[in-house]
Amino acid sequence: MPATARPLSPHLSVYRWQIQMMTSIVHRGTGMFLSLGTLLVCWGLLALASGPDAFARVTAFCTSWIGQLLLLGWTWSLAFHLLNGIRHLLQDIGLGYAPPTFVRNGWIVTIGSLLLTVLIWGLAVYFSAATQLWTLSEAVQ
């Protein structure tokens, strides 16, 4: 323990709301949530290796309402962490530090993450509809 009672993080409560602090906090939050998501990847792969019954349980979980909700959360978290991560990499080479640019990039990342989520789920729905149509046409023939 420190010898003096210095103020230690978290000092989240001392900040006035602004996009700069929001993207930083959300980056960590999405990072933690995505860490949990790696367990789904792990479970899915183990199930795929062990057999159809185990894989059916993963499919059942992913298509349940809680599974869909989690997948939506993981999609957005991945989109945000990916875009904000790229922003962090650019900042690491010294770009984007002027306050107006910093604020603008924060909004690009935030709105971009929502658009990317819509795009991914749009593709999922599109593929789903296409597959169903294809199966249907096979059945008709």
> How many chain residues are in contact with other proteins, going by CB under 8 A?
33
DSSP 74-110: HHHHHHHHHHHHHHHHHHHTT-S-SHHHHHHHHHHHH
Residue 86 makes contact with other proteins by CB under 8 A: yes
- Give the nearer residue to other proteins in terms of CB position, either 67 or 99: 67
The CA-atom distances, in angstroms, between 126 and each of 115, 118, 140 are: 16, 12, 21
User: Alpha-carbon distance 117 to 67, whole Å?
Assistant: 16
Do 23 and 106 meet the contact criterion of CB atoms below 8 Å apart? Answer: yes
Q: Report the SS3 class of residue 8.
A: coil
- Give the nearer residue to other proteins in terms of CB position, either 18 or 135: 135
Binding segment toward other proteins, per CB under 8 A, in 14-22, 42-50, 95-103, 105-113: 42-50
Residue 3 makes contact with other proteins by CB under 8 A: no
User: Which residues contact other proteins by CB under 8 A?
Assistant: 1, 8-10, 28, 31-32, 34-35, 38-39, 41-42, 45-46, 48-49, 52, 55-56, 78, 82, 85-86, 88-89, 92, 120, 123-124, 127-128, 131
